[in-house]
Amino acid sequence: TVPLARVIAQYQNDLPMPFKRYQIAPVWRADNPQKGRYREFYQCDVDVVGSDSLMADAEVMACLCKALEELGIMNYELRYNNRLSLEGFLQEKKQFSDIVREIDKVDKIGQDEVLKNLIKKNIPNAAVVKVRKLFALGRGDEASRIFEGYGSGFKLLKSFIVANGVNGDNVVFDPTLARGLDYYTGTIFEIVLPDAPQYGSIAGGGRYDNLVGMFSGKQIPAVGGSIGIDRLLSALEELEIIKYDLVSDVLVCNLDESLMEQYLNTAQQLREAGIKTDFYYETAKLDKQLKYADKKNINYAVIIGADEAKSGEATVKNLKTGKQERVKQKDLAKKLTK
């Protein structure tokens, strides 16, 4: 976010506003590595700069939700809040940042530990009582109606998110959502997976209206969000939405050096048809090549000897059943995708 703010500050007179962008790139942080959380990781960022409209907030949030849906994740929670509303509810401006950083830990350490930490940090008792009341609100529309008194347009924001194609049941107001970074100035959000809670938030972001101004001397409103790609991949694997399958489907056997180009061409044609195909590099006895295929759990062998080459055919052997048949070479892909 900070590098983007610097770019906007440098080229603010050349960029059409509102300026929208996304990027997928490696980023770094000082952290204790664990599953789905690394010091170097890939992140997908989506930002809208130059608009203070709630529609921009909704568009960014919906964009990340739809990206998850495209990957097959339908059971997720988009949790949202507003830093200004949170500050208004707590009524503790002087130590607001300290309070927010502790509230941000609630999913990791629990409400009781957060309250203990606030007391240790000498947070005024009145503010601690407010945090206790905050925890008692729970998530959902009833809590958002209470927070509406602090003027954040939660109902309108949710309607914009839904209008962008997100299932309203997945959109949940969370009064305890804090986001620990100090540059957030308004809407904040996180996306969590109820079926894989151990990964915490898969995506998150919010409005940062003052950040660009720190580099440009001119306030430019902005909102953005990110998906943690590495954490997301770990969750997808956990949920068995994706499986890392490194096994080839077919082995093209190598029986005759004079047919090498034909073997290579056959393997490439099968790959272009979407069939995971391996090729045995060295000319060797068929038995040795079939044993190689068995070790790699390959299902089919394509065998082209001198006779098959002359007739334009190939022998397809099912390595699980032992059955084999001759087919025209031009029909190989069709046969192997049945």
**Is 184 in the same domain as 268?**
no
**Is 171 in the same domain as 308?**
no
Q: Of 76-85, 87-96, 212-221, 319-328, where does mean pLDDT reach its minimum? A: 87-96
Backbone φ and ψ of 296, nearest 5°: -95, 5
Query: How far is it, in rounded angstroms, from Cα 178 to Cα 86?
Result: 8
pLDDT of amino acid 306: 92
Average pLDDT score over the chain: 91
Residue linked to tokens 């100090």: 182
- Which pair of structure tokens corresponds to residue 257? 């050096």
Q: Which of 109, 60, 50 is nearest to 80 (CA)?
A: 60
Is the pLDDT at 31 greater than 80? The verdict is no
More confidently predicted of 283 and 182 = 283
- pLDDT band for position 338 (cuts 50, 70, 90): confident
pLDDT of amino acid 330: 92
- pLDDT band for position 23 (cuts 50, 70, 90): very high
Percent of the chain with pLDDT over 90: 61
pLDDT of amino acid 68: 96
Query: How far is it, in rounded angstroms, from Cα 206 to Cα 184?
Result: 6
310 within a domain of the structure (yes/no): yes
pLDDT of amino acid 36: 57
Percent of the chain with pLDDT over 70: 97
DSSP string, 106-150: HHHH-HHHHHHHHHHTT--HHHHHHHHHHHHH-SSHHHHHHHGGG
Domain that holds residue 68: 2-238
- Bridge partners, residue 204, by sequence: 190, 226
- pLDDT band for position 193 (cuts 50, 70, 90): very high
pLDDT of amino acid 34: 66
CATH number of the domain at 295, please: 3.40.50.800
**Is 108 in the same domain as 6?**
yes
**Is 182 in the same domain as 268?**
no
**Is 257 in the same domain as 232?**
no
| Mean pLDDT within 306-327 | 94
**Is 215 in the same domain as 305?**
no
pLDDT of amino acid 284: 95
Q: Which of 338, 311, 277, 256 is nearest to 330 (CA)?
A: 311
Q: Of 23-27, 71-75, 213-217, 223-227, where does mean pLDDT reach its minimum? A: 213-217
Backbone φ and ψ of 143, nearest 5°: -65, -40
Is the pLDDT at 59 greater than 90? The verdict is yes
| Mean pLDDT within 150-162 | 89
Last residue of a domain, one of 205, 238, 271: 238
pLDDT of amino acid 35: 62
243 within a domain of the structure (yes/no): no
109 within a domain of the structure (yes/no): yes
Last residue of a domain, one of 204, 238, 272: 238
- pLDDT band for position 335 (cuts 50, 70, 90): very high
- pLDDT band for position 245 (cuts 50, 70, 90): low
Q: How many domains does the chain have?
A: 2
Residue 251, CB-side half-sphere exposure with 13 Å CA sphere: 26
| Mean pLDDT within 185-203 | 94
pLDDT of amino acid 144: 86
pTM recorded for the entire structure: 0.74
Last residue of a domain, one of 238, 271, 286: 238
Would the CA dihedral through 302, 304, 309, 310 be positive or negative?
A: negative
Query: What pLDDT, in 10s, does the model give residues 265-308?
Result: 999 999 999 999 999 999 999 999 999 999 999 999 999 999 99
Is the pLDDT at 1 greater than 70? The verdict is yes
